[in-house]
Amino acid sequence: MRAILNIIWLILGGFWLAIGYIAAGILACIFIITIPFGIASFRMAGYALWPFGRAVVAKPGAGLGSALGNVIWFIIAGVWLAIGHVTTALAQAATIVGIPLAIANLKMIPVTCFPFGKDIVDARSIPLGARPLHSI
């Protein structure tokens, strides 16, 4: 079922969302100091391409650097990518088939806005004791 949902997702918006993340990542990699933002963006592009069966968990040991990175990311790219998710979710919710995709799209917004201090893992391999922040 996950594979079918992922294929439908890819066709009905996942590809374009991933392109948005890739574009943000390329822009972030222009300067050496913003390369960590580019890496986070590329990681989220993979999640935007194939989200079903994956979960977001808190990364152990994330501290002040992650919090500062999240604030900067939110101002520069997070809010714009979140707007892309909301727009795509509204378009997907126009059909009955797209409603589960729209819900999944809205669940991705927290990691879109605040990617640092989080890991995207396979939902079946969540580490013991780790509680998923959300899964699709």
- Residues near 115 by beta carbon (within 8 Å), at least 6 away in sequence: 40, 41, 43, 44, 70, 73, 78
Determine the Cα–Cα distance for residues 24 and 34; give it in Å rounded to an integer. Answer: 11
Q: Which of 25, 62, 59, 58 is nearest to 40 (CA)?
A: 25
Domain ranges (residues) in the chain:
2-135
Regions of the chain where pLDDT drops below 70 = 127-136
pLDDT digits (tens, 9 = 90+) for 106-131: 988 989 999 998 888 887 777 666 66
The answer to whether 52 and 6 have CB atoms below 8 angstroms apart is yes
- At 133 the pLDDT is 65
Residue with tokens 């996950």: 2
- At 97 the pLDDT is 84
- At 129 the pLDDT is 64
- At 127 the pLDDT is 63
